[in-house]
Each structure stands twice: as structure tokens, then as C-alpha cells.
Amino acid sequence: MDLLRLITCGNVDDGKSTLLGRLLHDTKSVFEDQWDAVQRASARRGDAQTDLALLTDGLRAEREQGITIDVAYRYFATPRRKFILADCPGHFQYTRNMVTGASSAQLALLLVDVRHGLTEQTCRHAFLTTLLRIKHLVVCVNKMDLVGYRQEAFERIRDQFMAYAERLDAADIQFVPMSALHGDNIVEQSLRLPWYQGAPLLYTLETVYVGNDANHVDPRFAVQTVIRPQDPAAPDFRGIAGQIASGVFRPGEEVVHLPTGFTARIAAIHGPAGPLAEAFHPMSVVVELDRDLDVSRGEMLAKPGNQPAAASELEATLCWFSSTPLDPSRRYRLRHTTRETNCRVKNVRYKLDVTTLHRCHADAPVQMNDLARVSLQTAAPLFFDSYKQNRQTGAMILIDESTNTTVAAGLIR
Amino acid sequence: MPGFHLTQLELLEHEAIHVVREAFVQFPQTAILFSGGKDSLVLAAVARKAFAPARCPFPLLNIDTGHNFPETLEFRDRFARDFGFRLIVRPVQATIDAGRAADETGPDASRNRLQTTTLLDAIAELKLDAALGGARRDEEKARAKERIFSHRDEFGQWDPKNQRPELWNLFNGRKRPGEHFRVFPLSNWTELDIWAYLAREQLPLPTLYFSHEREIIARDGTWFAASPRLPLRPGESSRRERVRFRTVGDMTCTGAIRSDAATLPAIIAEVAAARQTERGTRADDRRSETAMEDRKREGYF
């Protein structure tokens, strides 16, 4: 069976958790004891009706405050597909957790309350999903029941969003009018919206084509570790272990080792179930070469005719997570593929206003939840592609060495 | 271009292998937390594959509560031997004898919580930088929130409100001395994925998972295995039922379900149709609404 990874995002109170609860409930993915527990907890709090958000707000603090702080992962399946759904926080304060959920998603559900239209947080999330290269965006125009299921109300939001999206780099945007509370257009086509000709949400989720979303063009293999059994049964075995970042590798093909530029041929590729005729993203494999090259973690295999950029100066967009602002005089630890090195932010070119998508405030400090275009200087060269072309070799994180926390995500230009 | 397609089970396996190898590279001392249950044995099997043809570099660490099913202990020893793992056992009884923990008293006494002290002591004693666990996010609502590389402070505590962002497949395992990580390579697997994998790989399993006849005591809506660990209360009696266990924990807190599923395909069909979560049979989760989070904060599995 297929697997689709998706997120729900949007402003607080636009109905994310209700939609998620509805999806889980209508696909019969809520177990009886979970449902009993949610009903009990809701009744104890004195809620007028069962709060579906309690299905995913699993932390004590979330349940006490009635907000989502961190991503909750939920799993459900239909006969067509299995889904991993990351329910992301809507609060501005927890944007870093939303980005955590979004980094591995293939599709985003963006909730909009039809009465309120686009808010700054709707725009922020729409922008972040496209920045992170989630190719499929489904704008869920929710709470249609509160506007009498009127077509004009839906179209107003759609037009508003399209005007904003013109400046985004989104590949595939769809709009579904719905009421998550009443189940309109979630699993079944709703008779209350006869003017809507499109499919209900679940059908879209089951059928959206994501087969060509991964990069199968540029061969990149970041060395994770080297496997050498100290075993008389395999005295000469020396395998390079790692996950295929992109492209396709086959036995017999010539590869180039970076940084040395030496070439070798692939003697064999071993997968979890044995030898492979080809390997592609996201397979975890062990590659044997036909001759001994000095290969270690953080280095890369590519093809002689298709190599990544190699440089220690690069341009990137940073999403800043830490409550301590970016300090250009400081050294940060940078992790990119399997490589770790030191870096410094040489120059903040501009910050981005996500509502207007205008450049601004180059001089103000880069603070939590800011998006900033920067130039980076690294201590060792990186082997990279632009994030647009390659989600695996274009992504990085920055780590503060004094606290060991992840302070930023970076997307290479 | 040909279709580059992987099934969900293949995807999950590749992801888990990546995480296991990343733990090996980032942490000098790592062990696999091994209960003898289905998730920990799938984890051990995946970890073995991650380093083939070399040996898996991690030992299995088992915290023996003294209240385990005898079948689980027998399986634990046999699995370690047959799959070539070094097995380290640390008994909760030793923690109690050393005066570092005391048995709970009262009607629902269990050693579930006591394990935490023994586990944290073992992590300190073995100087572990990371402990690999088979926990899955679909099991429980607090686990649904946890990172794959999950930080523990010097007291072994989890801080759920302040988790590190975890993006793409870039894992940040940096820590101070005395702190450690819990690493969960099977985070994205569901109960059904585990069973599908057990069937595909034809892995051995404790007999408790298969339908069998057993003397049970019905208590608070849960069917407990009759055993000397669970004295009958006034008015209670035991009876024989055809049962199996969906999870394998202590005899004092793990409930059985009525089942005729005696083969892997039958179990898969049963799990696919189940209307209760697997942890619905666990009395340890029902102590309060946030029982799992509260125990995890203290350093529980």
C-alpha cells in the first residue's frame, strides 16, 4: 500500500483539530477506548459537546490550556492509502513545531475560517509550506455551515487566497468548501453544497499523485558510516552505509567521491532484503565499490557528469527558532546531510514579511520565528544543491553549541 | 522513467535503519531496550539489518521487574542467543534490595513505575549515551508527541513542552555529559505495521501473543492472568478462557483479550478489525488521563 505524509495547519480556531477528529472518526480510525477517554475528559471539563481536539492534544499542558503546543502524529488508513498526519500548532509562538511537522510532509491541509478569511498566520503557514517545498496544498475553506453554505463566501476566500498565492511558488493548490463539524465534503460529497463540483477531501487525499515528488534525477549519496565486519567470514568487506538522498544508483555505474574527485564503480548495493538492482530515495543501503577509496562520514558519492555544488560560502533562507536572536559574531554548528561543520552568518541580506512577502528590516536582529535571507561561511565545504531542486541536499540545521539546541532551519538557495 | 515505488512497510524499514545508524554514529555507547515484546524484537531485528554483514554493535538491555511472564523471560534469553546479541539484565529487585526503591503497596500495586529507577541506574552504570526503544507514536497520546531523537536531562527527565525541532532526516543528538537520548526508530510504525513486518520477516514471537487457554481473573474490566503475583480479592474467582495478549508487560498490569487467533494471519485480521487500542488492556495507562506523560517525564520507557 501507498503512504502519504500530510500536515494540518492554519490559524488557531479555524478548525484543524475538528477536521482531524472528523477524518479519524469518519475513516473509523478512532478506537472505542480512545473515544470513551475523550468523552470522559471533555465531560469532566464541562464542555458542552465532546472536544475532538482532545484526540490529538495529548500533553497535560495542552489539555489544560486548550491549545496545541507540539506536533501530534496520527495514523489512519483507507483501502487505498495509509496516512501519516502531523497535526501542527496554529499559535505563532510554536511555529518551529509546525516547521518540524512540515519538513517531511508531501501535502498540506491549510484551514481557513470562511468568516474570517486570511489571517497573518494563514499566510505564514501557506508561505512556510511552499518554502519547505510541500508540493500539494489543499485550502480547506471551513465552517461553511456558518455562512449558509453560500457559494459567494467560498469564492471570496478562494480569490483572496489566489491573489496572495500569485507571489508564492506553489505547484498544486486546490480548494474544498467544507464544514468539519458537520462532516460536509470530508468523506462524502455534501448535498448542502450542490454548486461545488469538486471531490470531497478524502478522495483528494487518496488519489493525489505524489510519485514524482522525490528527485530521481540527481544522484546523491551522503556517507553515513562505513561498515567493516571484523569477521573472518567476510575479511575484505567494506561497505558504505547511508540513505540515498536523490537520483538512482545501480551496480556497474561509475561514481565520483567528493571531496577527492576520485572515481570508482559500484560493485554491489545491499538493501535490507538483499542485493539491489537499483537504489533511490529514501532507501537505506550499503554500497560496495570496486576499489578502495578513503571514504568517511560527511562525504558524498555522485556521478561524474552530475555533481552537487561544492563551496564554503552559500546563500540560504533561515527560519529562526530560538528565543535568543541570531548573533552574526557567533559561531554555530551546522549540520547538512551527514556532514557537521562550524559556520558563521556573514551577512543578513533581508528579513521577509510573510503577509506582504516584502523584504524588510535588514538591520533589525533576526528573532524567533523570523525568516531571513543570509550569507553563510562554513569551516569545511558543503556538497549541496538548492533546496528547490533537492529537499535532501538543500536542507540544513544550525545548532547553538552552548545549549546544544537546534536554533534554525536553513534552506539553501 | 520507471516507477520508483516502495510500499509503506519498505519505507518504514528504510527510515528505521537510517535512524538506527544515525544513533550508532552520534552516540559512543548505545543499547537497545529489550522487553521481549513484539516492538522491541522488531527493533532488534531492524538494528541487526542496519549493520549487516557486520554484527549489530548494540547489546540488549532488559529491565526485569520480577513480575514478568515466564514465557517472556524464556523468549528473551532464546532471542538474544539465536540472534547473536549480548544481553544485559538489570533486576528491579536489586534496586529494591539496595534501598533505592520500595514496592508499592495497596490493591493495585505494580512495579511498573519502579522500573524507571532501575532503568536510569542502568543507563548511568553502563554510561549509555542513548537507549534505543521500540515505542510507537500510535500507541498513546503522549508518545504521539515525542521526537525520534528525544532528549533526557541529567535526571533522565523528558521536557515535553520544550522539545528540539526535528527537521527532515537531520537528527541533533548533541548533549552534555550525564544527559542521554532515547531514540525511537519505529516512531511511525503502527501496530498493524509491526505485525505485517513480523509476518514478512518470519520472526519468532513469545507464545503469549497467540491464542491459548489460560486461567484468568476479571478485575475492573480487564482480564488478568491468574498468578501468585495477583492474589484473589474477596468475592473474586478465576476461570479458564481462550485468550491472547496484545501487549506484553508485567503480569500485574497487562490484560488479555478473548481471542482464537492462533496464527500470524489470524492475528493480523484481528488487529485490523480491532475497536480497542492495544494499550486499552494496560492498567498502568489508566491510572490517570496523563499517566504515560507523567511517567515519561520521570524517565520511563
For residue range A204-251, what is the model confidence (pLDDT) as tens digits? Answer: 999 998 877 789 999 999 999 999 988 787 778 999 999 999 999 999
Residue of A nearest to B140 (CA): A58
Q: What is the mean pLDDT of residues B150-161?
A: 93
Q: In whole angstroms, what is the distance from residue A200 CA to residue A26 CA? A: 13
Three-point CA angle B221, B223, B226, nearest 5°: 140
Chain mean pLDDT for chain A: 91
Q: What is the mean pLDDT of residues A334-357?
A: 93
Neighbours of B1 (CB within 10 A): 8
A27 touches chain B (CB under 8 A): no
Chain A residues with beta carbon closer than 8 angstroms to that of B4? 211, 214, 216, 248, 280-281
B227 touches chain A (CB under 8 A): no
Which residues, other chains included, contact B76 with Cβ-Cβ below 8 Å and sequence gap of 6+?
B34, B35, B36, B60, B62, B87
Q: In whole angstroms, what is the distance from residue B12 CA to residue B46 CA? A: 10
Q: ipTM of the assembly?
A: 0.93
Neighbours of B142 (CB within 10 A): 23
Which residue type occupies A229? P
Surface of A (1-20) touching B: CB under 8 A: 1-3
Distance between A228 CA and the closest CA of chain B, angstroms: 6
Q: Are B187 and B194 in contact (CB under 8 A)?
A: no
Across A143-299, the runs of DSSP E, i.e. the strands, are 172-177, 220-222, 225-227, 239-246, 248-249, 254-258, 263-271, 274-275, 279-280, 284-289
Most trustworthy range by pLDDT among A67-76, A119-128, A227-236, B117-126: B117-126
Q: Hunting for cell 455534501 — which residue is that?
A: A190
Q: What is the mean pLDDT of residues A313-337?
A: 96
Burial class (CB in 10 A: 0-12, 13-18, 19+), A211: exposed
Chain B residues with beta carbon closer than 8 angstroms to that of A73? 137-138, 144-145, 187-188
Please check the confidence at residue B1 and state whether its pLDDT lies above 70. Answer: no
A52 touches chain B (CB under 8 A): no
Residue of A nearest to B201 (CA): A273
- pTM for this prediction: 0.94
Q: For residue A284, give the nearest of B14, B190, B290 by CB distance.
A: B14
Q: For residue B161, give the nearest of A58, A61, A409 by CB distance.
A: A61
Neighbours of A206 (CB within 10 A): 15
Helix or strand run (H / E) with residue A320? strand A309-320
B268 touches chain A (CB under 8 A): no
A139 touches chain B (CB under 8 A): no
Partnered with residue A333 across adjacent β-strands are: A342, A399
Q: What is the pLDDT of residue B286?
A: 67
Which residues, other chains included, contact A395 with Cβ-Cβ below 8 Å and sequence gap of 6+?
A103, A336, A387, A409, A410, A411, A412, B167, B168, B170
Which residue type occupies A294? D
* Domain boundaries B8-196+290-298, corresponding CATH code: 3.40.50.620
Q: In whole angstroms, what is the distance from residue B264 CA to residue B210 CA? A: 8
Q: What is the pLDDT of residue A102?
A: 92
Residue spans of the domains in chain B: they are 8-196+290-298, 205-286
Three-point CA angle A154, A157, A162, nearest 5°: 125
Q: For residue A74, give the nearest of B50, B144, B163 by CB distance.
A: B144
Q: Hunting for cell 492534544 — which residue is that?
A: A57
Of B257, B225, B197, B185, give the one whose Cα is nearest residue B23.
B185
Dihedral sign computed on CA atoms, order A63, A66, A71, A74: positive
Domains and CATH numbers, chain A: 2-207 (3.40.50.300), 220-302 (2.40.30.10), 309-412 (2.40.30.10)
SS3 B280: helix
Whether B14 sits inside 8 A of A63 (CB atoms) is: no
Query: What are B21-66's pLDDT values in tens digits?
Result: 999 999 999 999 999 999 999 999 999 999 999 999 999 999 999 9
Which residue type occupies B132? L
**Crossing angle (nearest 10°) for helices B8-26 and B191-201:** 90
Alpha helices in A333-409 (DSSP H): none
Whether A72 sits inside 8 A of B15 (CB atoms) is: no
Distances (CA, A) of A30 to A22, A54, A207, B193: 10, 12, 23, 17
